Amino acid sequence: GAVVSQHPSWVICKSGTSVKIECRSLDFQATTMFWYRQFPKQSLMLMATSNEGSKATYEQGVEKDKFLINHASLTLSTLTVTSAHPEDSSFYICSASEDRVNYGYTFGSGTRLTVV
Amino acid sequence: SQQGEEDPQALSIQEGENATMNCSYKTSINNLQWYRQNSGRGLVHLILIRSNEREKHSGRLRVTLDTSKKSSSLLITASRAADTASYFCATDMKYSGNTPLVFGKGTRLSVIA
């Protein structure tokens, strides 16, 4: 079945540094990738939608200059948290759409970001 | 933005009992999906029910959908300690591959052995 590989699974970084999270679709082409953020004991909130070769669409309240999304190929999308602060500590998870799968959505395993 | 609500927010039951979780949503949907998430882990897809379906079964799972009430329920029968997790419903408003799933707030289920 469709697999989305997300790395790293966890990362600890210092305030002010940037962190890049990668999501790769391993056996299908992901035209669209969705990025979600989940705070402890809360639900998944959509941050942005990225389409291969074009600019990402950000949800209201999500700073596009802080959360840089690049979807340069059909198999790779990256989310870079720039100048990270402790309030950016969260669980980030990507999801890709693949038409051949019954329900069409495959999720990465998530990245636990802790900013100290 | 979140589509709707799940209730209860938290549920604690004894092993062997049934667990019922409800989900309400706000807009028309193409399908509704249920996911499980163990603490700090990724999502596991459980079951999908399409808007023209009313009930679906998968093993110990039973899902119902009432589009007139914009609600769905997930029943886990004969619960096990391993079922302890958070459960989310997610709605797909217009599946085209370009629309995201919208998640409810989730129910935290604790199954006590």
Which tens digits make up the pLDDT trace of A27-81? 888 888 999 999 988 999 999 999 888 889 999 999 999 999 999 888 999 999 9
Answer positive or negative: Cα dihedral of A84, A87, A88, A89. positive
Check B97 against A97: CB less than 8 A apart. yes
Considering only CB atoms, which chain B residues are within 8 Å of A104?
Answer: 92, 95, 97
Considering only CB atoms, which chain B residues are within 8 Å of A49?
Answer: 98, 100
Residue B37 backbone dihedrals phi, psi, to 5 degrees = -135, 115
pLDDT digits (tens, 9 = 90+) for A25-35: 998 888 889 99
Angstrom distance (rounded) from CA A27 to CA A6? 14
pLDDT digits (tens, 9 = 90+) for A2-17: 789 999 999 999 999 9
pLDDT of A98 over the 90 cut: no
Our CA angle for A66, A69, A73, nearest 5°, is 165
Cα separations in angstroms, A14 against A8, A19, A113:
16, 10, 11
Q: Where are the beta strands (DSSP E) in B15-106?
A: 19-24, 31-37, 43-50, 55-58, 61-66, 71-76, 85-92, 102-103
Q: Quick check: A44 contacting B, CB < 8 Å?
A: yes
